[in-house]
């Protein structure tokens, strides 16, 4: 099973954004600083583009004060 975690966090000392961890690591700055819902939606779309698996079912969690979204998908390897 492949797993990914998307976290809203500081991606640099003074930059807020999104961190994607799983098979690889990627980070992106905030998409919409004025609208949290639009920012989250754009981040989930961005993460799915990076992962390249199409639409995933994300589950929201909160750990150590950070909002996280976690998704899993069947392993594509034989």
pLDDT in tens, 67-76: 999 999 877 6
pLDDT > 90? residue 39: yes
Mean pLDDT, rounded, for 16-39:
94
CA distances from 16 to 4, 36, 39, 50, 72 (A): 20, 12, 11, 19, 25
In a domain, 63, yes or no: yes
pLDDT > 70? residue 77: no
Q: What is the pTM of this model?
A: 0.87
In a domain, 7, yes or no: yes
- Which residues contact residue 58 at a Cβ distance below 8 angstroms, ignoring those fewer than 6 apart? 6, 44, 69, 70, 71
In a domain, 52, yes or no: yes
pLDDT > 80? residue 30: yes
Number of domains the chain contains:
1
- Which pLDDT belongs to residue 66? 87
In a domain, 27, yes or no: yes
In a domain, 78, yes or no: no
**Domain housing 34:** 2-73
């Amino acid at each position: 099973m492949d797993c990914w975690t998307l976290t809203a966090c500081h991606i640099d000392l003074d930059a807020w954004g999104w961190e994607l961890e799983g098979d690889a690591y990627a980070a992106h700055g905030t998409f919409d600083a004025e609208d949290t819902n639009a920012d989250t939606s754009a981040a989930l779309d961005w993460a799915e583009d990076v992962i390249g698996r199409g639409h995933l079912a994300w589950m929201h969690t909160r750990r150590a004060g950070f909002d996280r979204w976690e998704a899993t998908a069947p392993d594509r390897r034989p």
